[in-house]
Amino acid sequence: MNPVLQDGHGRRFEYLRLSLTDVCNFRCSYCLPEGYRKVAGLPANLTVAEIRRLVGAFARLGLWKVRLTGGEPSLRAELLEIAAAVAATPGIRKLAMTTNGYRLPERAADYAKAGISTLNVSVDSLDPARFAAITGHDRLPEVLDGIAAARLAGIKTIKLNSVLMRGINDDELERFIAFVQQHDLALRFIEVMRTNDNPAFFEQHHLAGAEIANRLEALGWQRLPREAGAGPAVVYAQPGQAGQIGIIAPYSKDFCASCNRLRVSGRGKLHLCLFGDHGIDLRPLLQSDGQQDNLIARITALTATKAPAHRLHQGDSGATPHLASIGG
Ligand code: SAM
C-alpha cells in the first residue's frame, strides 16, 4: 500500500509548494507594492542538497507533486539544478512552477528540459499599461511571448493566474475568457487575500469568488464536477469550447475542506497553512541523509496537527505579511 500523509481531519497531502526564495522583482499592488525589502540577519535559502533531502522525505510519505514558487523562483540562480533534482526524486511524478514570467521567452526550453511540466504564469491584466501599473513592470508582451515559448518547448500544462480586483481589472473578465479560448489555456482567477501588509487594499478591492462565478454562469460557463484529489479551485468550462477557468476563492464556504497542500518556505520552514501563525523549522533535519527517518517522523507528526481552517473570515491572516514571504 502507498504511504499517505494526512492530518487529524482526514485530509490527505500529496502536493508540496516549495518556495525557492522570498525575493521578488515585481511590485504587485496587493503583495509587494513597495518592492522586496531584504530583512537583515535571516539564514540563507535551502541549498540544493537540503532540498533534495526534503523532497525525498515527502516523496517517501506518498507526496507526488511539487510546485516551485516564491517570491519569484526564476530569480534563484540554482533553479535548473533544483528543478532537475526534484524531478529526479523517486516518487515525484509532477513538477510545476509558478512564475511572473520573468525572462520566460529565453528560459522556457531550459525549464522543460529540467523536468518542469506545468507552468502557472501570473497575468493580472491583458492591457499593457494596466499590467505595468499593477506589477510595476512594463513587461506584458514579454510574459505573453514567454507563454508561447513554454508551449513550443513542450510544457504540457500552462495556466494563467489572475487576481481579479474590484475597480482595478474586474472589467477584464470577458477579455480573459476570449484569451484563454483563443489560446486553449487554463485560467485561474484568484480572489485577493488579506495579508498583514495589505488590509486597506483588501478592503477596497476584494472581489468575492462567488461574484466571478455568477458572471461566468451568466455567460454560459458550467461548473465541472470535482475530480478526486483535486485542490480547492472550482473549475468551469463552456460546452464545446476550448479553455477552462478555475476560481480559487479562499473566502468561500468549506474552502479548507479540500486542502491537499503543504508549504515549505525558502529557508526550510514547514507551513501547515498559508495563513498559520508560524512555520516550523525543518532545516536541522536536512543536514545529512542519515536523518531521513527522523525527518519523516517529524513531518508526519506536524502534519497531523494541521488546523481545520484558516481564520481569514475573522480578519486574521496569521503571521503572513505577504504571500511572497511563504510562497503563495
Ligand atoms: N512570483 C511568482 C508569481 O508572480 O506568480 C510566484 C509567487 S506569487 C506569491 C504566487 C501567486 O500568488 C501569484 O499568482 C500572485 O498573483 C498571487 N498572490 C500574491 N499575493 C496575493 C494576495 N494577497 N491575494 C491573492 N493572490 C496573491
pLDDT single digits (tens) 170-191:
999 999 999 988 988 999 999 9
Identify the burial level of 289 via C-beta atoms within 10 angstroms of its C-beta, where 0-12 means exposed, 13-18 middle and 19 or more buried: exposed
Cell of 77: 540562480
Distance in angstroms (rounded) separating the CA atoms of residues 310 and 257:
10
Distance in angstroms (rounded) separating the CA atoms of residues 275 and 318:
5
> In degrees, to the nearest 5, what angle opens at C-alpha 83 toward C-alphas 82 and 85?
65
pLDDT at 98: 97
Distance in angstroms (rounded) separating the CA atoms of residues 227 and 207:
26
CA of 292 to the centre of ligand 1 (A): 32
203, 192 contact by CB (below 8 A): no
Element (H, E) at 184: none
Cell of 178: 476570449
Element (H, E) at 22: none
Q: What are the C-alpha distances in Å from 64 to residues 67, 160, 260, 271, 283?
A: 10, 22, 12, 18, 21
pLDDT at 229: 67
Question: With a 6 A CB cut-off, is 197 part of the ligand 1 pocket?
Answer: no
Alpha-carbon torsion 313, 236, 227, 182, what sign?
Answer: negative
Residue in 82, 63, 84 with CA at minimum distance from that of residue 21:
82
State the virtual CA torsion across 87, 112, 177, 230 in degrees, nearest 10. Answer: -10
Alpha-carbon torsion 313, 198, 124, 272, what sign?
Answer: negative
Pocket test residue of 118, 190, 251 for ligand 1, highest count of atoms within 8 A of CB: 190
Pocket test residue of 123, 160, 163 for ligand 1, highest count of atoms within 8 A of CB: 163
Segments of the chain with pLDDT less than 70? 1, 229
pTM for this model (two decimals): 0.96
Measuring from atom 8 of ligand 1, which residue has the nearest CA? 328
Could you give the 3-state DSSP secondary structure of residue 168? coil
Element (H, E) at 72: none
Question: With a 6 A CB cut-off, is 193 part of the ligand 1 pocket?
Answer: yes
Question: With a 6 A CB cut-off, is 21 part of the ligand 1 pocket?
Answer: no
Distance in angstroms (rounded) separating the CA atoms of residues 283 and 260:
23
pLDDT at 1: 63
Of the CA atoms within 13 Å of residue 262, those in its CB half-sphere come to 32
Question: With a 6 A CB cut-off, is 192 part of the ligand 1 pocket?
Answer: yes
Identify the burial level of 90 via C-beta atoms within 10 angstroms of its C-beta, where 0-12 means exposed, 13-18 middle and 19 or more buried: exposed
pLDDT at 99: 98
Ligand 1, atom nearest to 124 Cα: 16
Measuring from atom 26 of ligand 1, which residue has the nearest CA? 192
> In degrees, to the nearest 5, what angle opens at C-alpha 247 toward C-alphas 142 and 17?
70
24, 273 contact by CB (below 8 A): no
Sheet with 244-248, edge to edge strand ranges? 222-223, 234-237, 244-248, 186-191, 157-164, 118-122, 94-99, 65-69, 15-19, 261-264, 269-271, 280-281
CA of 161 to the centre of ligand 1 (A): 8
DSSP state of 290: G
Question: With a 6 A CB cut-off, is 190 part of the ligand 1 pocket?
Answer: yes
